[in-house]
Amino acid sequence: MASVLNISAYLFTRIDDREALRPVLRAGAESAGLKGTILLAEEGINLFLAGGPDAVRGFVDDLRADPRFAALTTKESWSDAQPFRRLLVKLKREIIRMDHPAIRPEAGRAPAVTPDTLRRWLDEGHDDTGREVVLLDTRNAFEVDYGTFAGAVDWRIERFTEFPGAVAAHRGDLAGKTVVSFCTGGIRCEKAAIHLRENGVDALQLEGGILGYFENVGGAHWNGECFVFDEREALTPDLRPRTTAMAS
């Protein structure tokens, strides 16, 4: 049975003391024997960590004791071996780079759709008002090539900073439709949905991203796997690594 717990989590929340917080989080993760990456920016926190289940969950519980991180939710998956080689705690300008500083999700999120509701819409072929649903993949092209929702729109962007330009070029194609932006864990599609709405597109974000969808409804309407940024490379819709040949 797989014994290493992998989590991904992010939260847009104001962090004014990230330089002081960095060594505190590093010390806590190191003492728990965790590996992975923690990103800190003024706009929030983004983390990918793996280790023993009690150690991982204990670290997250300690993090949530800080009121700024009380709303942090995690997505869990399992592996037979540690998928990260080391622990990194980095300071960043943005926890996901878009180069649009006016987009600040901590000030208010775009509306979201739950995995269960999205699956129902896809089963029925429309949303609750009868409008066409367009799935918009906000990930980089190479990630999309591992797998995506059937019929999803893919603008073949190479990096997320290209997304605003793609919106400007294609927003006319989205008029009068219910657009659901999605990404791996929710962080990119959260910014994407805000930007889309500011440009006149009726956009929602998929709550929890692809991994949240897999966790709640499995692989319905999904083709392929989901790329992840660790040595597992990709996860199947049952949240298992595509291969067990991972480095220890």
Q: Residues 49, 109: one domain? A: no
Q: Residues 86, 119: one domain? A: no
43: CATH: 3.30.70.100
| Structural domain for 109, as ranges | 105-235
User: Among residues 194, 187, 184, 188, which one has the least CA distance to residue 225?
Assistant: 184
Q: Where a domain ends, among 59, 91, 123? A: 91
Residue type, 12: F
Q: Residues 75, 136: one domain? A: no
Instruction: Tell me how far apart the alpha carbons of residues 77 and 79 are, in angstroms, rounded to a whole number.
Output: 7
Specify if 241 maps to a domain.
no
In this structure, the dihedral spanned by the alpha carbons of residues 25, 31, 33 and 36, taken in order and rounded to 10 degrees, is: 10
179: CATH: 3.40.250.10
Q: Residues 76, 113: one domain? A: no
Q: Residues 37, 116: one domain? A: no
Q: Residues 155, 199: one domain? A: yes
Average pLDDT for runs of 10 along the chain of length 248: 89 95 98 97 95 98 97 93 95 86 67 97 97 98 98 97 96 96 93 93 96 96 95 93 53
Q: What is the pTM of this model?
A: 0.83
Specify if 99 maps to a domain.
no
Q: Residues 142, 116: one domain? A: yes
pLDDT computed for residue 101 by the predictor: 62
- How many domains is the chain built from? 2
Q: Residues 143, 202: one domain? A: yes
Q: Residues 117, 227: one domain? A: yes
Q: Is the Cβ–Cβ distance between 206 and 112 less than 8 Å?
A: yes
Specify if 96 maps to a domain.
no
Specify if 243 maps to a domain.
no
pLDDT computed for residue 245 by the predictor: 41
Question: Which phi and psi (to 5°) does residue 84 adopt?
Answer: -115, 145
Catalytic residue among 49, 183, 192, 201: 183
Specify if 203 maps to a domain.
yes
Q: Where a domain ends, among 69, 91, 113? A: 91
pLDDT computed for residue 246 by the predictor: 38
Q: Is the Cβ–Cβ distance between 133 and 225 less than 8 Å?
A: no
Specify if 176 maps to a domain.
yes
Is 189 tagged catalytic? Answer: no
pLDDT computed for residue 106 by the predictor: 63
pLDDT computed for residue 177 by the predictor: 97
Q: Residues 56, 115: one domain? A: no
* Structure token digits, residue 157: 């962007």
Cβ neighbours for 241, distance < 8 A, ≥ 6 positions apart: 79, 80, 83, 232, 233, 234, 235
Q: Residues 132, 46: one domain? A: no
Q: Residues 211, 109: one domain? A: yes
Specify if 100 maps to a domain.
no
pLDDT computed for residue 96 by the predictor: 86
Specify if 242 maps to a domain.
no
